[in-house]
Amino acid sequence: MPHAHPRPATGPAAQVDAWLSDFEHALTTRDVERAAELFGDVSYWRDLIAFTWNITTVEGRDGVRDLLRATLEVTGPHGFAASEEPTEADGTTTALIEFETAVGRGRGVVRLRDGRAFTLLTTLYELTGHEEPMSERRPRGAEHGVRPGRQTWLEQRTAEFSELGRTRQPYVLVVGGGQGGIALAARLRQLDVPTVVVDRNPRPGDTWRNRYKSLCLHDPVWIDHLPYLDFPANWPVFSPKDKIADWLEMYVRVMEINYWGSTTCRRAGYDPTTGAWEVVVERDGEELTLRPQHLVLATGMSGRPNIPDVPGRDRFRGDQHHSSEHPGPDAYRGRKAVIIGSNNSAHDIAAALWEAGADVTMVQRSSTLVVRSETLMELAHGRLYSERALAAGITTHKADTLVASMPFRTLPDVQKPIWDAIRERDAGFYARLERAGFLLDFGEDETGLGLKYLRRGSGYYIDVGASELIADGRVRLARGGVRELTEDSVVLTDGTALPADVVVHATGYGSMTGWAAELISQQVADTVGKVWGHGSGTTNDPGPWEGEQRNMWKPTRQEGLWFQGGNLAQARYYSLCLALQLKARQVGIPTPVYRLPEVHHRS
Ligand SMILES: Cc1cc2nc3c(=O)[nH]c(=O)nc-3n(C[C@H](O)[C@H](O)[C@H](O)COP(=O)(O)OP(=O)(O)OC[C@H]3O[C@@H](n4cnc5c(N)ncnc54)[C@H](O)[C@@H]3O)c2cc1C
């Protein structure tokens, strides 16, 4: 709602009102030139499907012109207003805004500098006529009165579950029922889009259950909420993995998700003549063919173990496994464990093995970003996601919107000072780690964890204790690549032999593009190209600059194929974008996509 406060003639609120009114006037009179002039020399407009039916950022006035020329007529934007009292700091005025388009309602954020826009975020959150049945629109549940032959809620649920995918085709098939798949499915249920989720594991939450037993989420609870259902106030700050698994299982039930466990997607192909997929799944030993119009791969960024082909792997006589299959430390008391890798899983597993009385060596090949969990919470996450933030009126939704409002190009400048402060605060800790021989980095341009995650999704450890074990040598550190495995040791490239009873390959995961190749075809994988990263030109994220995560939550170059996933925060926030894109297509709302990116990389 537009704020009701009377406006002072000057100050942040007046500035924002004036800008929004000029912007709206330019848009409604289709004056692209005038609209572009309202942006600064250096400026960014990030749009999440409101104007572009894409997730895209344009830069500078030329970018604004280009976006508007392509989208303005169809979008029909109007009704811009600040939704909260704007704030001013260091010469930048920030305002949360609302607006409408020809097909829906939007929210966003504008930042003004010297009267012009520095950043603008526009997001669509609701389609007119397809509002979610929530709050005052919630379903009645009970139908009062009398009606012969009425079905109970349970009978309706059971009927839907048994029909969908058998006698009635789902509009959307989601392959993968981890947090990404079910967050999307919950949104699609709200939007009345018939959806089936298939997962090869028997129970929702099994991805988490199957991980090493000491695992707890590294992100605090305030960042982790799923759509519609926040964790209760007594939920621990860091969810133990089996507890989050139970939460996901409960979520599937209460969100009424059509979830087929023990169902493996074997193959999928798109038929352009019918505009539908043919997806073969194996469910409890039976092969079934589903024909959805849209196929969402929510198969996980951490689902395809990456194990380098080290010579001698078949010669090694002890236990060896990828970190994703690590059974926990119990069988390894008094045994020699060598962990290959030095990121999150490597550290967590090293600490658990050490606690269980194993003799542990970690092999570090390249540098790792390490940050103490406490410091990360205080200096990075805490401002937006914490009790402190909630007390200051920053709800999860507001925090998500503010995070989304920072275009990727601006992130390094925002992040660098935070990471400088982190390094300064924990200088002693980092010095101890370096003295132990640990190779540290803070990202190639020293911009920290968030960007490393967005660029390559790996290369860091959020320290919850293992670093001290390394710093004081209780967990030994060896440096270098692995040359080979012998019957009973790991041999490094410099010839050092590390005796081992168990070898853990904590060597990360392959790209989501691999899922498209595996389940659909190499040709479709090549058509779609690399998934994740945004063209930063850093390790594993080659340029050119894309400015948005490749292929995630938005149209791909393969008709009807979508990717959903990421951490819990991304699964929560971007599932709305993806759900609305699917809903619009289901009900025939035109969705002309602006600037479908070129494919520059295949994997
Ligand atoms: C050790 C570790 C710690 C992590 N810690 C955090 C954290 O603290 N916070 C955070 O937000 N994120 C964390 N992540 C990252 C990420 O959130 C998780 O990997 C999360 O599980 C991703 O959810 P997802 O739904 O995208 O994929 P997944 O949970 O991997 O789910 C994908 C699903 O697809 C299914 N599947 C795959 N192929 C098929 C097929 N052919 N047919 C049917 N089903 C199939 C799998 O069975 C699986 O259930 C962590 C990851 C790891 C590995």
Q: What is the pLDDT of residues 400-427, one digit of tens each?
A: 999 999 999 999 999 999 999 999 999 9
Task: Yes or no: say if 524 and 351 are a contact pair by the CB < 8 Å rule.
Answer: no
Task: Yes or no: say if 127 and 584 are a contact pair by the CB < 8 Å rule.
Answer: yes
User: What atom in ligand 1 is closest to the CA of residue 281?
Assistant: 42
Residues in the chain: 603
Residue 429 pLDDT grade (very low, low, confident, very high; cuts 50, 70, 90):
very high
Helical (H) or strand (E) element with 418: helix 411-425
| Residue with the larger pLDDT of the pair 312 and 308 | 312
Residue 9 pLDDT grade (very low, low, confident, very high; cuts 50, 70, 90):
low
Name the residue with tokens 């692995």.
482
Interior CA angle at 384 toward 380 and 388, to 5°?
100
| Tokens at 169, concatenated | 């085709």
Res 201: pLDDT? 97
Residue 7 has pLDDT above 60, yes or no: no
Residue 279 has pLDDT above 60, yes or no: yes
Q: How much is the mean pLDDT over the chain?
A: 96
3-state secondary structure of 351: helix
Does any ligand 1 atom lie closer than 6 A to the CB of residue 201? yes
User: What atom in ligand 1 is closest to the CA of residue 198?
Assistant: 43
Residue 377 has pLDDT above 60, yes or no: yes
Least confident of 3-7, 130-134, 495-499, 591-595: 3-7
Peptide bond into 597 cis (omega under 30): no
Residue 6 has pLDDT above 70, yes or no: no
When pLDDT is averaged across residues 554-573 and rounded to a whole number, the result is: 97
Give the global pTM: 0.96
Instruction: Specify the residue with its C-alpha closest to ligand 1, atom 10.
Output: 567
Tell me how far CA of residue 12 lies from CA of 40, 99, 157, 516, in angstroms.
17, 19, 51, 48
Residue 54 pLDDT grade (very low, low, confident, very high; cuts 50, 70, 90):
very high
pLDDT tens, residue by residue, 478-494: 999 999 999 999 999 99
CA of 62 to the centre of ligand 1 (A): 39
Name the residue with tokens 């504008």.
110
d(CA 589, CA 583): 8
CA 159 to chain centre: 33
Nearest 5°: phi and psi at 258?
A: -80, 90
Tell me how far CA of residue 434 lies from CA of 135, 427, 467, 470, 472, in angstroms.
54, 10, 11, 10, 11
CA of 482 to the centre of ligand 1 (A): 27
CA of 282 to the centre of ligand 1 (A): 20
Residue 335 has pLDDT above 50, yes or no: yes
Burial classification of residue 165, based on how many CB atoms lie within 10 Å of its CB (0-12 exposed, 13-18 middle, 19 or more buried): buried
Strand partners, 49: 123
Task: Yes or no: say if 278 and 268 are a contact pair by the CB < 8 Å rule.
Answer: yes
When pLDDT is averaged across residues 511-516 and rounded to a whole number, the result is: 90
3-state secondary structure of 476: strand
Instruction: Specify the residue with its C-alpha closest to ligand 1, atom 51.
Output: 302
Res 460: pLDDT? 97
CA of 177 to the centre of ligand 1 (A): 9
Res 3: pLDDT? 46
Q: Beta 116-127 vs 104-113: how paired, if at all?
A: antiparallel
